[in-house]
Structure 1
Amino acid sequence: MTTGTLDQSTRTTRRPAQWLRVARWQLETGVFLMLWAWGLITVLVVAVLAIVGQSVHVVVSGFAISHHGLLWFPFSIAIMVTVTYLPLHVGSGMTRSSFIKAALLGNVLIGVLNAAFTMVGLLIEREIYHRLGWFHGSTNAKGVEVLDGGALTYGIGLTLLFVSGMLSGLLVGVAYYRAGGWWGTLTLPLTLLPIAVTSLIGLVDDSQWSPWDVSFAASWPASELFTGAVLIAAAAVFALLVRRIPIDT
């Protein structure tokens, strides 16, 4: 056997780690679904503003209204990842450890991508509003522009919020799968804690969108650091719950 044959054999047998392959598949699937959501949101925002702008002076951001969809739709996807894909993953002979790593990486990246898409949309929308003489108003604070506290601050808050939604979705899914319907429902106050903590104390910008329109006074960077620690803890809890989870066959 020649050296060239050995090199070729080495190249053909060297594959990415199992969890990376699974993470790539989950990310590709998630991005495919989100591309439809992003396209639908863009079309709806443009259409509504084009129609409404003909008769009234627009004072609210269209993209800011879409935040609910980009929090709760991916949240439901994260639930399905745990409830439907986990048993298939383990039943196919793959490890729980690879599922944990792949699910966390894939879902966190989906949250980050949703925040990036929204920020690009908000920045483009703001320029259009200003050119048309419209007010790029927040949906939470009257008389305040969406990015009044700065695009970076808003973007960080939105990233934390969307990532918290994905982590809560994973926790909700594993709670229902592991404990059943009743206990899964009763533990919702716990599994939704990442979203609650982020929306209540993790947003320092007064114009920042919150799913419950309620937030306490927060200061940068203490609130973001605390929120980040809570999200890391949520990821650790998910890993612990999945590591020894019994799989229905």
Structure 2
Amino acid sequence: MHQKQQLLFGVYFDALRMEDVVARCRTALLTRSRVLLGVLNAAKVVNLRSDELLRNSLIECDLLLADGQSIVWASRLLGRPLPERVAGIDLFDRLLTLAHSENRSIYLLGAKPEVLAALETRLLERFPGLRIAGSHHGYFDAGDSAKVAADIRESGADMLFLGMVSPKKEIFLASFGPSLGVSILHGVGGSFDVLAGYTKRAPASWQRSGMEWAYRVLQEPQRLWWRYLRTNTQFVLLTALELLRPAHAFKPTAARPSQAIRQL
């Protein structure tokens, strides 16, 4: 099947629906090939312009998807439409369902130890018999990165989920992903906290209206209001610039692996 891509904001998005992405992942499991998943929201579109390591890690993804509704709306305005939002947390949920139904093993990397423990408990309650090949919290020193990567590799997991903030999760995947021997690699950000019951996701109506970010601000106003004001404003400006003069595709640069490790 021909896979359509759309060049938006200097990166190639895969114009896929959720069902297409899950089918691609199922094929990768059957063929023992790799799918490195990348998801982009407005903030990442803004930040990748100045963050070389984040930009390189996203360019290297096998599938790059629109995690934010604002990107879908912008794609339509720009005449290069993406079919729908593929939210990272929803894809995480679908891949967990796939792992459970097809007896595939998973590895969980990220979050605080207590959040990770709660997540494992909840997943096993929801998916009895789910094969959790291993797990590790996300608060490890940079010097332990290679050891964590080795543990993932030795676990033999079919899927790796990283509950780490950007750009840490993208950088870890870019640095160690090719050596892990895992078919499906997906950075899910704060999804561990949501599925573990530590934070609450915005109601579906807020998600559909593209206001999920506002719900997060209401939960943590002091920490998040300025961040979202800055990135949302810059994203609107970037969309206007893209309408006037579409950006050329970014090319990967020769960022050194040691740089990426220091960022963890």
Per the normalisation by structure 1, the TM-score is 0.31
Whose strand proportion is higher, 1 or 2?
Answer: 2
> Higher Cα Rg: structure 1 or 2?
1
Per the normalisation by structure 2, the TM-score is 0.30
Whose helix proportion is higher, 1 or 2?
Answer: 1
